[in-house]
Amino acid sequence: MGEVLSSMDPPHGVSGPDSRADKPSSKLTPNLNVKRSTFWGRSNARKTPSVESIDSSGEEELVIQRLEITKNDLRHRIAKEARGNAILQAILERRKQALHERRLALEQDVARLQEQLQAERDLRAALEVGLSMSSGQFSGTRGMDSKTRVELEEIALAEADVARLKQKVAELHHQLNQQRKHHYGSLSDACERFQNGPNHNSQFKYFQQDFDTTLAFCNHERRQRSEVIFIIYKHIDGYEHDITQNWLIHKLNLLH
């Protein structure tokens, strides 16, 4: 029976139409299985994402948020520092300007004071020269301004007037002393005549009249002399006061 079946099988070298038809079908079947597996694999990957990918995306978002916060914070700090630096720069500029103006003012003051010092030295030299000269020599001086020359002439004239008035006072004192001596001498002579004379009553009346006249004259002369001396001393004080006042006015004018 087996032999009959084996004899009925076709030989291996000859392929029938059925065998050719079966081979392509056998080749297509694996390809279809592969496509089906890849299709279902892709759909499964899309429909069920992994936990690791979710965690990584969340971490990225947190990092981005932290960076945004840091960026905004840095911008705020930079703006704050810029405002502070602008304020400090303005203060520094104002201080520099104030120091510059102060320096210019001090330089001007120093120059003005140097000029004033030189003017005072020149005036002192002129005054020393003028005080050593007489009033008639002022007109020939050079290097002296007219105002200083006039003041020196006034000072010289005032000094001459003071000296003349002092001499007049001395003379008046001398004359007053002489008159006192003269009247006291006449009074003593009258006393002697009264004591030595025979008629005491008439001599006493004459002596009384002479004494009263002499005393009244002495008092009158004393008052006149005192008034004259007071007037002279007043003029002397006035001259000295005028000299001092002119000197102070001249100094104040130089300072201004």
For 59-93, write each residue's pLDDT tens digit. 888 999 999 999 999 999 999 999 999 999 999 99
Q: Which residue has the higher pLDDT, 232 or 10?
A: 232
pTM tops 0.75, yes or no: no
Sign, CA dihedral 112-145-133-253, equals negative
Per-residue model confidence as pLDDT tens digits over 159-170: 777 788 888 778
Chain segment 20-34, per-residue pLDDT in tens: 444 444 444 444 444
In this prediction, residue 207 carries a pLDDT of 52
Please give the structure tokens belonging to residue 18.
């059925």
The reported pLDDT for the residue numbered 81 is: 96
pLDDT exceeds 60 at position 253: no
Looking at residue 71, what is its pLDDT?
A: 96
User: Exposed, middle or buried: residue 152 (CB in 10 Å: 0-12, 13-18, 19+)?
Assistant: buried
**Residue 221 in contact with residue 179, Cβ under 8 Å?**
yes
Arithmetic mean of pLDDT, 97-118? 95
- In this prediction, residue 4 carries a pLDDT of 39
> According to the model, what pLDDT value does residue 73 have?
96
| Cα(134)–Cα(69) distance, integer angstroms | 98
